[in-house]
Amino acid sequence: MEDLGYKNPLTKKISINKDRVLYWISKGAQPSPSVHNLLVSEKIITDKKIKITNISKKKKAELEAATKSAQAPAVAPAEAQAEKPVAPEGEVKPAA
């Protein structure tokens, strides 16, 4: 474990050992999304920032339920068409 720098959220002071960060990234280390964005904003690495969102389990369940309910009507008409009886060729359907 090596200390590569720090960020003080109260004073907004950031100190990062750029050489050691680049060394560890070259060896295959992958920073977390938050650290990645910090390194991009400090111009230590050149890349796009990663979008980070934290969704609560309750909200995630609501989104999944909404997605499933939106997909259900699209499936129902296809099933209804498959269940219709088809008259064999040559037979005449009775008029209603």
**How far is the C-alpha of 37 from the C-alpha of 17, rounded, in Å?**
16
Domain assignment present for 52: no
Domain assignment present for 96: no
Domain assignment present for 94: no
User: What SS3 class is residue 14?
Assistant: strand
pLDDT digits (tens, 9 = 90+) for 44-85: 999 999 888 887 888 888 888 888 877 765 555 555 555 556
**Domains contained in the chain, number:** 1
Structural contact between residues 7 and 38, judged by C-beta atoms closer than 8 angstroms: yes
**How far is the C-alpha of 85 from the C-alpha of 53, rounded, in Å?**
50
Domain assignment present for 17: yes
pLDDT digits (tens, 9 = 90+) for 29-49: 999 999 999 999 999 999 999
Domain assignment present for 70: no
